[in-house]
Amino acid sequence: MSKGHRRKRAIVVGTGAGGSVMARALQGEYQVTILEAGGEFAPFSMPIDKLAGFRRTGMFFDERMIRMLIPNMLVEKTKDMVIVRGIGLGGTTTLATGNAVRYDGALKELGIDLDEQFDDLYRELPITTDHQRNWTETTRDMYRVFEEMGLDPVVTPKFLNASKCVGCGHCAIGCPTGAKWDTRMLIDEALGKGARLVTGCRVVGLEISGMQVTGVHTIRKGRKVLYRADLVVLAAGGLGTPVILEKSGIPCEKSLFVDPVLCVAGPAPGIGQDRQLLMPFISQQDGYILSPYMDYLSFFFNKSWRLPMKDMASIMIKLSDEEKGYTDGRKIDKVMSPADHKKMAEAVSLSRDILEKIGVPRDKQFLGTLNAGHPGGMLPLTAAEKDSLHNPALPDNLYIADATILPKSLGNPPILTIMALSKKIATVLLQK
Ligand SMILES: Cc1cc2nc3c(=O)[nH]c(=O)nc-3n(C[C@H](O)[C@H](O)[C@H](O)COP(=O)(O)OP(=O)(O)OC[C@H]3O[C@@H](n4cnc5c(N)ncnc54)[C@H](O)[C@@H]3O)c2cc1C
């Protein structure tokens, strides 16, 4: 760089799936400042068996209280369901079960080719199905039942160092051995290249002049701070980014999807499903997926879930929902549509059949709490934006690189796809 030439400044908001990739890619060409609302991730560290004993006392009566156990897990409620996301370093990826699934069909339909970006990610990240070698007898039996029922289970690729995994089943509440990979590692790489990170810094709006964003308004420790930038990339997640845009006078669409999740469970004495990797395999059905999953929210907060974890079998349904919903930051307006309910009823019936085959009597089965953790879609990409990856309603130097721009509900784990998309957007920005 010639003397006197100022390096351009970029601000990346958020450290989850989209933000981490973007910050790492831009640092160097830009001087990147990463603004993150939360702090360091703190895993669940209390003995689950002891805490489970308190369920009968009625102490756990509202899912939003989960923050007392897992401080980085933010739970909000809509009329129909509980919505979960991660606030803190690593975003929601720290709470993820580590599924690394490519699911970019809807983007391909728009003409967005992410082959190169997925190839890069497969090379760069620890994505593996090696965990299959360590499956417990219970996992193998469940897999066999899925196969016998013609449900075509597929071993889930995981962001994982399989040799470090002890199969404790704590993937979604903070992996205790560091076996599960999350995006904090990418943030570390960005910092190693010279990026700056400001945690506890909530972005509340953008300063816009004509078709240029000139700064980012934040609140940190009760104080307002304005960050100036030449380029701003929002990656505050499917519920965070739309609120920043709305507060800055840029309306989003009422097309929020969330991928609703419901677990069907029942008594299976001694099955030990709590001591297995969560979602070890996935069965793709028409509009939903099925996978073995122990649901902590239902376990602590749903009155039907009173058995010890080790004595329960549980199958998760994850639905691809209709893209209808909205948030303005004060509330989340999202309900299951009639079509969603119909699909969910089919999925519940099939899950009941699976549990019966596993040995859980149908009349003893019960449902979990309807919840969701894949919000997105409120400023979806269109075919017209396939090359620019930029919505024309945005200022020229403002980009979005998170689930907000996904065109459709995936009904599938989205991290890998969001990361590939963010990588592609970074390439466009670096070529500009
Ligand atoms: C329990 C659970 C398990 C999951 N498991 C999987 C899985 O196994 N595989 C998978 O692919 N997906 C999984 N998901 C979903 C996945 O984690 C998310 O869809 C994905 O992380 C979304 O990426 P993102 O970049 O859009 O947002 P996020 O990863 O949520 O990142 C958003 C970031 O922005 C920050 N932020 C928010 N608002 C502001 C603000 N105003 N100012 C500054 N910073 C802000 C947040 O703190 C966060 O760091 C799971 C979700 C949950 C809830």
pLDDT digits (tens, 9 = 90+) for 105-118: 999 999 999 999 99
Q: Which residues pair with 326 in a beta bridge?
A: 333
What's the gap in Å between 17 CA and the centre of ligand 1?
6
What's the gap in Å between 274 CA and the centre of ligand 1?
24
Q: Which two tokens stand for residue 164?
A: 């470090």
Within 10 angstroms of residue 324's Cβ, the number of other Cβ atoms is: 17
Mean pLDDT score, 20-42: 96
Mean pLDDT score, 231-240: 98
Q: Ligand 1, from 298, 332, 378, 415: best to mutate by most atoms within 8 Å of Cβ?
A: 415
Distance CA 200, CA 3 (A): 34
- Mean residue pLDDT of the chain comes to 94
Distance CA 137, CA 143 (A): 10
Measured from the CA of 19, which atom of ligand 1 is nearest?
25
The reported pLDDT for the residue numbered 4 is: 59
Q: Which two tokens stand for residue 331?
A: 């509330």
Please name the residue whose Cα sits nearest to atom 12 of ligand 1: 413
What's the gap in Å between 372 CA and the centre of ligand 1?
12
40 Cβ contact partners less than 8 Å away, ≥ 6 residues apart: 88, 89, 199
Residue with the larger pLDDT of the pair 5 and 413:
413
Task: Write the secondary structure of the chain as one string of H (helix), E (strand) and C (coil).
Answer: CCCCCCCCEEEEECCCHHHHHHHHHHECCEEEEEECCCCCCCCCCCCHHHHHHHHHHCCCCCHHHHHHHCCCEEEEECCCCEEEEECCCCHHHHCCCCECCCCCHHHHHCCCCCHHHHHHHHHHCCEECHHHHHCCHHHHHHHHHHHHCCCCCEECCEEECHHHCCCCCCHHHCCCCCCECCCHHHHHHHHHCCCEEECCEEEEEEEEECCEEEEEEEEECCEEEEEECCEEEECCCCCCHHHHHHHCCCCCCCECECCEEEEEEEECCCCCHHHCCCCCEEEEECCEEEEECCCHHHHHHCCCCCCCHHHEEEEEEEECCCCCEEECCCCEECCCCHHHHHHHHHHHHHHHHHHHHHCCCHHHCEECCCEECCCECCCCCCHHHCCCCCCCCCCCCEEECCHHHCCCCCCCCCHHHHHHHHHHHHHHHHHC
Please name the residue whose Cα sits nearest to atom 51 of ligand 1: 373
Measured from the CA of 376, which atom of ligand 1 is nearest?
26
pLDDT band of residue 98 (cuts 50, 70, 90) is very high
CA angle 189, 239, 314 (to 5 degrees): 85
Q: Ligand 1, from 93, 259, 262, 369: best to mutate by most atoms within 8 Å of Cβ?
A: 93
Looking at residue 341, its amino acid is H
pLDDT band of residue 71 (cuts 50, 70, 90) is confident
Ligand 1 proximal residues by C-beta, below 6 Å: 13-19, 35-38, 84-88, 91-93, 95-99, 172, 202-203, 235-238, 240, 244, 373-374, 402-403, 413-415, 418
Listed residue (199, 166, 140, 119) closest to 419, CA to CA: 119
The reported pLDDT for the residue numbered 94 is: 95
The reported pLDDT for the residue numbered 55 is: 76
Mean pLDDT score, 312-326: 98
Q: Which residues pair with 85 in a beta bridge?
A: 74
Q: What percent of the chain has pLDDT over 90?
A: 85
Q: Which two tokens stand for residue 295?
A: 């649901």
Measured from the CA of 218, which atom of ligand 1 is nearest?
42
Q: Which two tokens stand for residue 135?
A: 């499956």
What's the gap in Å between 14 CA and the centre of ligand 1?
9
Please name the residue whose Cα sits nearest to atom 41 of ligand 1: 203
Please name the residue whose Cα sits nearest to atom 5 of ligand 1: 96
Please name the residue whose Cα sits nearest to atom 10 of ligand 1: 413
Using the predicted structure, report yes or no on whether residue 57 has a pLDDT greater than 90. no
Using the predicted structure, report yes or no on whether residue 97 has a pLDDT greater than 80. yes
What's the gap in Å between 337 CA and the centre of ligand 1?
24
What's the gap in Å between 218 CA and the centre of ligand 1?
20
Residue with the larger pLDDT of the pair 4 and 381:
381
Distance CA 134, CA 179 (A): 13
Using the predicted structure, report yes or no on whether residue 408 has a pLDDT greater than 90. yes
Crossing angle for the helix pair 17-26 and 184-192, nearest 10 degrees? 20
* Residue that the structure tokens 């300063």 belong to: 207
